[in-house]
Amino acid sequence: MKRKVFWLSSIITTILSSATAIFGFVASNRLMYIKNKDANFIYDRELKAQRFDEAWFHNCPKEELSIDSPNGYPIKGIFFKPLQTQNTIIICHGVTENKINSVKYARMFERLGFNSFVFDHRRHGESGGKTTSYGYYEKFDIAAVVKTVKSIVGENAVIGIHGESMGAASMILYAGLIEDGAHFYIADCGFSNFAELISYIVKKETILRTKLPLHLADIFLRLRDGYSLKSVTPKEAIKNIKSPMLFIHSLEDDFILPYMTKEMYEEKSEPKMLKLFEKGAHAQSFNLNQAEYEYTVSEFLQRYIFTDESSSNSEKEIS
């Protein structure tokens, strides 16, 4: 009898261990190899929505660049130079997107007096890289991009970085953990804590109500991709950023909840501004509020970058 119980216990233990390993592998797989949107789909979507101007894209003076990532792959991007200025905005797209999604912001910043550099994050678009790491490895790529752009435009140029969703989180990790290397930052619907985000998504999309999936994903990410969920926490990194930052989010966003932007705004020291749009799902603030979005960015630039008022110590919030 004891022998049967022993064997039964061994079998159950083996099954549970195997199931745990399989679950952890699958969970980390979904994160590391998240399905990217088809390039043609993104192009057609932006074109049909009239956010992508083909004539401008083909006629605008530009330079295609391939930047060596410190992680060992090429970062592909386009430097748009429609203006006679050295002032440049670097635009970081969100997860599953590519640099074509960033062109709409390039057009806006052209109207605001900036040339722009758009690029594909690792494992997106034409760039290399085997996995998506939601900012952990992407922050080193942004550092390489900033260094290259500065070498092109010179020391007197005003450099800004605009990030959307994962691009915003990656930008904050770069500025807070590697170098505060830009004159200003614009963080649109970024997450503050990757572990909290994954936990929220699991609860939202499955019946699981335990933290086991999070722990398993963390263990397997450490083993397979060399980083932990805790190392992707922008709200901690943001405490080290001194340059001005504009925070943007839509209150209707139910993928990355607006509270994440609010808590990063609270953690960021002055100078800073916050804009919360009433309309817009995730990463739709610009698409549904274009005029007000551009006005907000212009207000931020005039308040902190192109006037002497950048030394103000009072908190600024736009309603």
pLDDT of residue 3: 52
Cβ–Cβ < 8 Å for 270, 238:
no
pLDDT of residue 175: 98
Residue 130 phi, psi (nearest 5): -90, -30
pLDDT (tens digit per residue) in 124-139: 999 999 999 999 999 9
pLDDT of residue 46: 98
Q: Is the pLDDT of residue 19 over 80?
A: no
pLDDT (tens digit per residue) in 206-243: 665 567 777 888 998 999 999 999 999 999 999 999 99
E strand spans, the chain: 62-68, 74-80, 88-92, 115-119, 159-164, 184-188, 245-250, 272-277
pLDDT (tens digit per residue) in 60-111: 999 999 999 999 999 999 999 999 999 999 999 999 999 999 999 999 999 9
Average pLDDT over residues 280-299: 98
